[in-house]
């Protein structure tokens, strides 16, 4: 009989925190031993999240190294800049660490500081950390003690482009990623822009001059392409709760064959349990992945011309955050890859 692994969550009051709790509540091989929140310390989890009533007999606690270091694995579901201050101590105590924020996503510390507006607290760990997109780095994640969980937009965009870049099938210099996110991507913080009356029944672009996910996407696509890619990334806010839809445009030359590209997608993701390559001409809806860890992708070449259109849909809180983190956890702890993640999408 396998021993149950002990899991701790730092910063459990946000949407990625509660989503981790939802997933781990039904995970067969792990137990949540601690969930921390400075502001809510002492309160029962189910008071803040009635959807968890009866599932966890657990109160929020202070994020001390003692408590956290005793876990087999610690998730940081915290704002940017938190995990980098505590990760070293926890690793030394023997816990593995997954950061769902951006602290370890970059290779370049200076680039990170420029986009995140603060000094990085541990450049060494940033270099050590593994970028946890299992569709790219599965083997490395299995060996890692520190994993940077990818951003939501970067996940959707990379899965839509990896086969093309790896095979050199598109122009790498004129990639456009027009991305649309549900409002939960902005987190559970009390911000005017995320109010139902501000974000509801309306649509807008934001961060067009430069969004923090731009350098992350660009760096990872460049690794896949073997050269620095040219990328325009425009995020939009959509009046829905969950979901990201990426509409990706790439230029192809006369020799491009759509069937070959489709075959490349199917081969590339054949062994990836959470990527669904849809038939040519499909239009994935975000609700078809709601609550699940699946990414659905579909290819189009409108009018057979030289612009390829790739559609990619995920649930930003699952494949774009907590679900991918659990996937990484499974890999890091030697559990079955899909454990706890065989969840049916909720539709309608």
Residue numbers annotated as active site: 152
**CB count in 10 Å sphere of residue 40:** 17
To 10 degrees, the CA torsion angle through 263, 269, 270, 271? 160
Q: Are 285 and 121 in contact (CB under 8 A)?
A: no
CA distances from 333 to 15, 97, 330 (A): 24, 11, 5
Contacts of residue 34, defined as CB under 8 A and 6 or more positions apart, other chains included, come to 8, 9, 58, 61, 67, 68, 71
Q: How many angstroms separate the first and last alpha carbons of the chain?
A: 39
Contacts of residue 43, defined as CB under 8 A and 6 or more positions apart, other chains included, come to 59, 60
For 9, the enclosing helix (H) or strand (E) is strand 5-10
- Which residue is listed with tokens 């699940």? 292
- Identify which of residues 64 and 232 has a Cβ nearer to a second copy in the complex: 232
- Identify which of residues 18 and 224 has a Cβ nearer to a second copy in the complex: 18
Question: How far apart are CB 69 and a second copy at their closest, in Å?
Answer: 28
Residue 253 binds a second copy, judged by CB under 8 A: no
Question: How far apart are CB 342 and a second copy at their closest, in Å?
Answer: 7
Read out DSSP for 66-133? Answer: HHHHTSSEEEE-S-TTSHHHHHHHHHHTT-EEEESSSTTS-S-HHHHHHHHSS--S-HHHHHH-EE--
Residue 4 binds a second copy, judged by CB under 8 A: no
Contacting residue, 158, 286, 324, 330, with a second copy by CB under 8 A: 286
- Identify which of residues 105 and 245 has a Cβ nearer to a second copy in the complex: 245
Give the range of 96-104, 108-116, 256-264, 274-282 binding a second copy by CB under 8 A: 274-282
Question: How far apart are CB 51 and a second copy at their closest, in Å?
Answer: 4
Question: How far apart are CB 28 and a second copy at their closest, in Å?
Answer: 12
Residue 314 binds a second copy, judged by CB under 8 A: no
- Identify which of residues 128 and 178 has a Cβ nearer to a second copy in the complex: 178
Contacting residue, 144, 157, 164, 289, with a second copy by CB under 8 A: 289
Question: How far apart are CB 55 and a second copy at their closest, in Å?
Answer: 7
Using CB atoms within 10 Å of the CB of residue 139, give its burial: 0 to 12 exposed, 13 to 18 middle, 19+ buried: exposed
Beta bridge partners of 247: 178, 311
Residue 94 binds a second copy, judged by CB under 8 A: no
- Identify which of residues 195 and 267 has a Cβ nearer to a second copy in the complex: 195
Q: Are 156 and 318 in contact (CB under 8 A)?
A: no
157-186 positions binding a second copy, by CB under 8 A: 174, 176, 178, 180, 182-184
182-241 positions binding a second copy, by CB under 8 A: 182-184, 188, 190-192, 194-206, 208-210, 230, 232-234, 236, 238-241
Q: What is the largest CA-CA distance in the chain?
A: 64
Binding mask 39-78 for a second copy (x = CB under 8 A): ----------xxxxxxx-----------------------
Both tokens of residue 152?
């939501």
Binding mask 22-41 for a second copy (x = CB under 8 A): xx-xx---------------
Contacting residue, 9, 11, 15, 261, with a second copy by CB under 8 A: 15
Residue 251 binds a second copy, judged by CB under 8 A: yes
What is the Cα 178 distance to its own chain's centre? 17
- Identify which of residues 205 and 263 has a Cβ nearer to a second copy in the complex: 205
Question: How far apart are CB 289 and a second copy at their closest, in Å?
Answer: 8
């Amino acid at each position: 009989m396998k021993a149950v692994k002990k899991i701790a969550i730092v910063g459990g009051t946000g949407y990625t925190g509660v989503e981790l709790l939802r997933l781990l509540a039904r995970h067969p091989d792990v137990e949540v031993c601690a969930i921390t929140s400075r502001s809510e310390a002492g309160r029962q989890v189910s008071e803040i999240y009635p959807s968890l009533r009866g599932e966890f007999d657990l109160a929020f606690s202070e994020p001390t190294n003692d408590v956290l270091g005793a876990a087999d694995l610690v998730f940081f579901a915290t704002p940017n800049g938190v995990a980098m201050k505590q990760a070293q101590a926890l690793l030394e105590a023997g816990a593995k660490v997954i950061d769902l924020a951006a602290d370890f996503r970059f290779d370049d510390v200076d680039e990170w500081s420029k986009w995140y507006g603060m000094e990085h607290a541990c450049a060494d760990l940033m270099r050590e950390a593994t970028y946890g997109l299992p569709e790219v780095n599965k083997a490395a994640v299995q060996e890692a003690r520190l994993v940077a969980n990818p951003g939501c937009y970067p996940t959707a965009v990379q899965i839509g482009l990896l086969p093309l870049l790896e095979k050199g099938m598109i122009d790498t210099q004129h990639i456009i990623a027009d991305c649309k996110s549900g409002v939960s991507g902005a987190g559970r913080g009390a911000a005017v822009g995320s109010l139902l009356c501000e974000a509801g029944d309306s649509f807008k672009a934001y961060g067009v001059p430069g969004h923090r996910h731009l350098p992350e996407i660009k760096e990872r696509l460049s690794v896949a392409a073997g050269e620095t890619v040219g990328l325009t990334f425009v995020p939009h806010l959509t009046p829905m709760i969950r979901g990201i839809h990426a509409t990706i445009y790439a230029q192809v030359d006369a020799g491009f064959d759509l069937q070959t590209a489709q075959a490349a997608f199917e081969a590339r993701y054949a062994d990836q349990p959470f990527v669904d390559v849809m038939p040519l001409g499909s239009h994935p809806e975000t609700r078809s992945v709601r609550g699940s860890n699946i990414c659905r992708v579909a290819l189009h070449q409108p009018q057979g011309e030289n612009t390829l259109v790739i559609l990619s849909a995920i649930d930003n809180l699952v494949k774009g955050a907590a679900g991918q983190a659990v996937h990484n956890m499974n890999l890091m702890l030697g559990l079955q890859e899909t454990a706890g993640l065989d969840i049916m999408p909720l539709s309608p």
